[in-house]
Amino acid sequence: MRTVPELIACKRDGGALSAEEIQWLIRRYTDGTLPDYQMSALAMAVFFQGMSEEEMVALTLAMRDSGAVLDLGHVPGRKVDKHSTGGVGDKVSIALAPWVAACGVRVPMVSGRGLGHTGGTLDKLEAIPGFSVNTTTERFIELVATVGTGMIGQTKDVAPADKRLYALRDVTATVESVPLIVASILSKKLAEGIDALVLDVKVGRGAFMKDLDRARTLASALVRTAKGAGKDCVALLTHMDYPLGFTVGNALETAEAFAILHRRAPADLTECTVELAIEMLVLGHVARTRDEARAKLERALDDGSALATARRMVQEQGGDPRVVDDPSLLPATKTRTPIRARSAGFVHGIDALEVGLAGVALGAGRTRSEDSVDPAVGFVLAKTVGDAVALDEVVAWVHSDDEARALEAARRVGAAFSIASDKPATRPLVIERVE
């Protein structure tokens, strides 16, 4: 076996590490015998030189195996999850998991919290009175087996190597490395014991990947690595230039997610959810074609089974199931402040990054992982891209009882709207599919 400095030098000079060497490095890093300074040098070498597909698979599996890996082998049916690289207003998972589960696919969903300008599914679920995202592994497996889905947070024994390495990347300017992002995302997802994974790789102002080329590179690396690790995988590249749906903020987004299952959600949000659900049904082997999957999803709305699964999921995780049908049971502010159009014309853009950051400042998100969030605050858009607006017409509402913060948020979100005289061209939400 080569020494650690030899392995770092090999990667620095563009060479390849063997699967055995990668496993050894990750094992030593997890048990503390490989110091941060050597891992920092290696991360920077990977940042500049990249990794081959074999190396990415080896790194992903080594990081997955640094902690607990769920065994869902005795739960009948295919287990399929979805991962989004994160966006503003992305509440898809809350409707997707019960909807897909109602169609016969098992959905073990381990989600994250919001950090930076993007929201997190756990914060949205916790807006539901009583809902708990913390449970034992045994109970999680039981939920997947009986309800068809469970939605929980990551426990500390899942991929501990990723936790250490992510913190190190954060302070060594190596977060943006594609192989390191791939191993970080997939190690945690593969620890869920899934058979297949559908990825929503967001592209645009409000996304982790701002330009299409980089998003495409990431999507393709994720899909190739997941397949190399023996999992079926498909990625959709979807636009994230403006918020998805009409709401930003935890309780507001949870209500809008359930509205998808009542067929009352905005078109872009429904489209995003349906496109991902179709992929999950096909990879879950409950539909052979996209058309068959679409028909099955429609049926689950018509016969009420998607809503029934959502109510059951909420109830089994300690929440009040009535919220699925009655959003007034969710936390809400008393005060709503209007945001008015500064000119007349058509909405051309709503800067998702700015809306996300304004949401964080309002208390809907966090800048440090230990911050707490206010479930009730956020924004409701009255106009979205393509809509006509008159001067001074309300384009959005701020939900906050703190007057100073609400006014500042209204100023920022108002400025995030770009309005021009011509009607913008419409475009499909899904940019392309990578498999």
For ligand URA, the binding residues (CB under 6 A) are 166, 181, 184-185
**Among all chains, which residue has been given the structure tokens 């392309």?**
432
> Of 168 and 297, which CB lies nearer to ligand URA in the complex structure?
168
**Among all chains, which residue has been given the structure tokens 């009882």?**
401
> Of 179 and 375, which CB lies nearer to ligand URA in the complex structure?
179
Closest CA relative to residue 364, chosen from 15, 76, 91, 36: 91
Told to judge if 164 belongs to the known catalytic residues of this protein, a careful annotator would answer no
Q: Residue 310 to residues 244, 245, 260: CA-CA distances in angstroms?
A: 21, 19, 11
**Among all chains, which residue has been given the structure tokens 């990947």?**
209
The answer to whether the CB of 416 falls within 8 A of the CB of 340 is no
**Which candidate in 123, 162, 241, 374 is catalytic?**
162
**Which candidate in 177, 184, 187, 400 is catalytic?**
184
> Of 111 and 400, which CB lies nearer to ligand URA in the complex structure?
111
Q: Nearest to ligand URA by Cβ — which residue?
A: 184
For the CB of residue 192, give the shortest distance to ligand URA in the complex, in Å.
13
For the CB of residue 402, give the shortest distance to ligand URA in the complex, in Å.
31
Task: Burial-class residue 401 by CB neighbours within 10 Å (0-12, 13-18, 19+).
Answer: middle
For the CB of residue 212, give the shortest distance to ligand URA in the complex, in Å.
18
**Which candidate in 11, 106, 124, 188 is catalytic?**
188
Burial 19-42 (b: 16+ CB within 10 A, else e): eebbbbbbeebbeeebebebbbbb
> Of 4 and 222, which CB lies nearer to ligand URA in the complex structure?
222
> Of 214 and 336, which CB lies nearer to ligand URA in the complex structure?
214
Told to judge if 334 belongs to the known catalytic residues of this protein, a careful annotator would answer no
Told to judge if 239 belongs to the known catalytic residues of this protein, a careful annotator would answer no
Amino acid symbol at 338 = P
Amino acid symbol at 9 = A
Told to judge if 427 belongs to the known catalytic residues of this protein, a careful annotator would answer no
Strand partners, 434: 235
**Which candidate in 83, 231, 311, 366 is catalytic?**
83
For the CB of residue 181, give the shortest distance to ligand URA in the complex, in Å.
4
Question: Over the Cα atoms of the chain, what is R_g?
Answer: 22
> Of 127 and 180, which CB lies nearer to ligand URA in the complex structure?
180
**Cα(340)–Cα(224) distance, integer angstroms:** 46
For the CB of residue 153, give the shortest distance to ligand URA in the complex, in Å.
13
For the CB of residue 85, give the shortest distance to ligand URA in the complex, in Å.
6
Torsion sign (Cα): 260, 261, 263, 264:
negative
Q: Which residues contact 326 (CB under 8 A, 6 or more apart)?
A: none
**Cα(372)–Cα(250) distance, integer angstroms:** 12
Told to judge if 188 belongs to the known catalytic residues of this protein, a careful annotator would answer yes
**Catalytic center residues:** 83, 162, 169, 184, 188
